[in-house]
Amino acid sequence: MLTRTLDALHSPVVVVGPRRNISHVNTEARELFGDKIVGRNLALFFREPIALDMLNEVLSEGGTRSLEVNLDVPIRRQYKLVISRLSLVPLETPHAVLEFQETTLMKRTESMRSEFVANVSHELRSPLATLIGFIETMQSGYSETDPQDRNAHIRFLGIMEGEAQRMSRMIDDLLSLTNVELREHERPRGQVDLKGLLREVIDTLVARGRRADVEIVLSLPDVVPCVCGDRDQLIQVFHNLIVNAVKYGGNGGRVEVNVKATENGLPDGGHGVQIGVRDFGDGIASEHIPRLTERFYRIDKGRSRDMGGTGLGLAIVKHIINRHRGRFHIESVLGEGSTFTVRLPAYKGGA
């Protein structure tokens, strides 16, 4: 009866006796700590001195105690641990029940909210200051009959429009990044035709390439396995990578997108597909490469802003690839160009 009651709970629950030996667990706890924990000492699986001291207090004095704990199972998760005295007829001696209420998503949301506000405040201050400055200048005095004033007025409006569009792009990217981060633990299960997806993305970017005098070349093998993923997010990944290659490596006149099947290089060791986006531009100094996927990291802040960059594109790419349980790798040689490589797991039918 106790086991059935515990299994009805959605949080991991462990029941321990006076010597901290585990007497009962529910299904959620088995998934968290493993199948062979009943009969063994709790301290073998859960090494949190303060929590163990609280457990001793509850066993001897009764009552309820709680605290925040972190568990690496296998990735770090956060829990509110509630420890309560348990006295039931089948249990002749006092026992305690430990309930692990996961708070990972809530904590992550709180942290992301704080970071979001800080980043937005910092990044939007500059364009807002520009807008306010030009508005004050235009309000201070303007003559419709003076050609010089009229030309300045037109130029100011153009600058103001550009700054407003920059803020709009930044807000769109921030919202996109926040959404991806919140869902990063949810692995997508859809079947995606990668060959068709890449052709679609490149078709939408051909005109942009022509304007920059850059040829975008797609190289595909005869057979490209479907991948397991979220189609819209993968479109965003390759759109971001190819646009970046055209913008920052376009002086090489060519961007190559190369695709091949792969049998390794993925976290689960399974089959997959490798996509490389290569440019022949100036390249990136090695000290910058590890930081390129950080929020708002820019090698040349002035050039990035002039080209409409928000500093969020590669951060979005990284989190989408993580959600897909793939790999993302950057290689670059100064004077020769850069290659951004994505590896994605192949679709397995029910995976």
Residue 50 belongs to domain with CATH number? 3.30.450.20
Amino acid 120 reads: V
In a shared domain, residues 210 and 273: yes
In a shared domain, residues 204 and 348: yes
Rounded to two decimals, the pTM is 0.59
In a shared domain, residues 58 and 149: no
What's the rounded Cα separation, in Å, for the pair 144 and 29?
A: 75
Residue 204's pLDDT band, with cuts at 50, 70 and 90, is very high
Domain edge (last residue) among 102, 120, 141: 102
Percent of the chain scoring above 90 in pLDDT: 39
Percent of the chain scoring above 70 in pLDDT: 86
Q: Looking at the predicted structure, is the pLDDT value of residue 90 above 60?
A: no
In a shared domain, residues 168 and 230: no
Instruction: Indicate the number of domains in the chain.
Output: 3
In a shared domain, residues 50 and 152: no
Task: Give buried/exposed letters for 156-176 (b at 16+ CB in 10 A, else e).
Answer: beeebeebeebbeebeebbeb
In a shared domain, residues 218 and 325: yes
Domain edge (last residue) among 160, 182, 204: 182
What's the rounded Cα separation, in Å, for the pair 48 and 50?
A: 6
Domain edge (last residue) among 102, 124, 139: 102
pLDDT in tens, 312-345: 889 999 999 999 999 999 999 999 999 999 999 9
What's the rounded Cα separation, in Å, for the pair 313 and 246?
A: 14
Number of neighbouring beta carbons within 10 Å of residue 227: 25
pLDDT at 264: 65
Helix-strand-coil percent breakdown of the chain, rounded to 5?
45, 25, 30
What's the rounded Cα separation, in Å, for the pair 209 and 242?
A: 10
Domain containing 9 equals: 2-102
Give the CA count within 13 Å in the CB-facing half-sphere of 256: 13
Closest CA to 81 of 109, 111, 53, 60: 53
Q: Looking at the predicted structure, is the pLDDT value of residue 302 above 60?
A: no
What's the rounded Cα separation, in Å, for the pair 333 and 309?
A: 22
* Average predicted confidence (pLDDT) for the chain: 84
